[in-house]
């Protein structure tokens, strides 16, 4: 269930853009565009790998996507609030909506795992060392 942890690769660029916005005043500059653009590229790469990442189903490790997704949506909305009217202004509402939908699905799937008692799966190392037999 480690595949979903690839979602964390989205976070550095998006969080970097948010940190950069806190350091500058006025309209966004080239560094902000580069950080948001790189985060969008990472989002596209993760979307391409989505089928492979979620092949085993949604697990708690899928929450690694949440930090980067929310940071990306916030950074894009911050760019629009600063007066940018380029492609980011067109993509920001769509990305914000996508992030809201993905987080809602993630919350629902996590609640299903919680209710079914599968929120904490068995550790692969536990079964490797025979510790799983002790639990039964």
Q: What is the pLDDT of residues 23-65, one digit of tens each?
A: 988 777 889 899 999 999 999 999 999 899 888 777 888 899 9
pTM: 0.81
Amino acid 121: pLDDT: 64
Q: Which domains does the chain have, with CATH numbers?
A: 3-135 (1.50.10.150)
Instruction: Provide the pLDDT confidence category of residue 16 given band limits of 50, 70 and 90.
Output: very high
- Residue 135 above 70 pLDDT? no
Mean pLDDT computed over 13-22: 94
Q: Output DSSP code: residue 88.
A: H
Whether 65 and 46 have beta carbons less than 8 Å apart is answered as yes
Amino acid 130: pLDDT: 52
Side-chain-facing half-sphere of 114: CA atoms under 13 Å: 7
Residue entry with tokens 């509402």 = 93
CA 89 vs CA 32, 79, 85: distances in Å: 14, 8, 5
Instruction: Provide the pLDDT confidence category of residue 124 given band limits of 50, 70 and 90.
Output: low
């Amino acid at each position: 269930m480690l595949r979903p942890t690839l979602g964390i690769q989205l976070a550095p660029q998006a969080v970097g853009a948010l940190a950069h916005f806190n350091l500058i005043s006025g309209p966004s500059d080239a560094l902000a565009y580069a950080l948001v653009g790189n985060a969008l590229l990472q989002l596209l790469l993760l979307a391409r790998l989505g089928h492979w990442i979620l092949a085993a189903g949604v697990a708690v490790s899928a929450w690694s996507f949440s930090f980067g997704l929310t940071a990306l949506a916030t950074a894009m909305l911050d760019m629009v609030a600063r007066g940018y009217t380029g492609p980011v202004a067109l993509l920001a509402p769509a990305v914000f909506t996508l992030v809201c939908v993905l987080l809602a699905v993630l919350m629902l799937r996590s609640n299903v795992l919680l209710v079914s008692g599968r929120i904490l799966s068995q550790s692969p190392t536990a079964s490797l060392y025979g510790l799983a037999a002790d639990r039964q």
